[in-house]
């Protein structure tokens, strides 16, 4: 079975008692859920996090993380802040039975003026925290972003920028999160490559999967549940062909867990079925 994860539906779970929470975990476990993707800020600040993590551990559901929080513009301050957060996160995880290697996905902070000066600073930043994170069993990943959703002075929505990071940071625990929705939007809106270049595919350690397409009125939407997987087919097959073995994390949010749990369960099943079918066809 493939490693399929979803974003942790925090708003909904926080409305539930532990007794109400557990049956949902069992449903996800039975459908083959591998992991919940959590924001780091939620993990650090949520009072109920120990209960949540302990129940996940009991149901053999893993954790992946998405960095959330303002990173100071001063590089030294930023490095100090993130180091302290990483130590605190590892302590919380270990104390609740999650003692394995974990991915943390970062958006590279936007640049304000000088793109290339900022790029050099960010290489130093990610090199430093990646080296620090090795002993903490964290993989530090930068996400491939969308040009226009939201619009901004991004670093990471261009494959050449991702390649610069990879050329300068060769730590085993540094890599890339490929967001399939972001690259599809960049392909649709700007005619950019749909599939990542060979230099990048070998450094993919985590994948975000969600729908992104053009509506009849010409507007583009993203971060919505899957339908028939036609819009993700080329990217998923490319990952399978290149022996990707990491997590495929469904990235969308649905308020109202009781109303939408079947959408989550259906998407987990569809994605698992697609991946396993295509793996078998390659044998």
pLDDT at position 231:
84
The pLDDT tens digits for 186-198 are 888 888 889 999 9
In contact, 143 and 179? CB cutoff 8 Å? yes
Q: State the alpha helices, DSSP H only, in the chain.
A: 10-13, 18-30, 40-45, 49-58, 75-95, 115-133, 159-168, 180-190, 198-201, 233-241, 257-282
8 A C-beta contact, residue 87 and residue 133: no
pLDDT in tens, 95-151: 999 999 999 999 999 888 899 999 999 999 999 999 999 999 999 999 999 888 777
Higher model confidence: residue 183 or residue 151? 183
Which pTM does this prediction carry?
0.95
* Interacting residues of 75 by C-beta distance below 8 A, sequence separation 6+: 121, 124, 125
H or E stretch at 277? helix 257-282
Please give the pLDDT value at position 97: 98
Task: Give the separation between CA 40 and CA 38, rounded to whole angstroms.
Answer: 6
Measured at the CA of 203, the angle between CA 200 and CA 204, to 5 degrees, comes to: 90
Q: Which residues contact 24 (CB under 8 A, 6 or more apart)?
A: 13, 16, 257, 261
Domain boundaries, the chain: 4-282
Position 257 scores a pLDDT of 82
Which uninterrupted H or E stretch holds 16? none
How far is it, in rounded angstroms, from Cα 128 to Cα 215? 43
Task: Report residue 283 as tokens.
Answer: 């044998």
CATH homologous superfamily for the domain 4-282:
Divalent-metal-dependent TIM barrel enzymes (3.20.20.150)
């Amino acid at each position: 079975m493939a490693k399929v994860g979803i974003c942790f539906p925090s708003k909904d779970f926080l409305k539930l008692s532990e007794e109400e929470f557990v049956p949902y975990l069992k449903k996800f476990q039975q459908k083959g859920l591998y992991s919940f993707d959590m924001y780091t800020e939620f993990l650090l600040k949520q009072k109920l996090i120990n209960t949540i993590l302990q129940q996940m551990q009991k149901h053999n559901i893993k954790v992946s993380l998405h960095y959330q929080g303002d990173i100071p513009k001063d590089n030294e301050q930023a490095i100090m802040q993130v180091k302290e957060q990483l130590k605190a996160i590892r302590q919380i995880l270990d104390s609740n039975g999650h003692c394995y290697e974990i991915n943390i996905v970062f958006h590279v902070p936007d640049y304000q003026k000088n793109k290339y000066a900022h790029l050099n600073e960010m290489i130093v930043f990610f090199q430093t925290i990646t080296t620090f994170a090795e002993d903490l069993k964290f993989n530090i990943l930068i996400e491939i972003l969308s040009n226009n959703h939201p619009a901004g002075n991004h670093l990471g929505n261009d494959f050449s920028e991702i390649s610069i990071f990879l050329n300068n940071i060769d730590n085993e625990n540094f890599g890339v999160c490929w967001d399939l929705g972001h690259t599809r939007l960049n392909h649709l809106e700007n005619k950019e490559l749909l599939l990542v270049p060979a230099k990048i595919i070998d450094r993919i350690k985590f994948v975000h999967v969600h729908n992104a397409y053009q509506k009849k009125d010409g507007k583009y939407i993203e971060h919505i549940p899957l339908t028939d997987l036609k819009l993700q087919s080329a990217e998923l097959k490319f990952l399978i062909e290149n022996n990707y073995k990491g997590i495929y994390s469904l990235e969308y949010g649905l308020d109202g867990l009781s109303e939408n749990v079947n959408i989550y369960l259906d998407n987990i099943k569809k994605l698992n079925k697609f991946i396993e079918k295509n793996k078998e066809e390659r044998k």
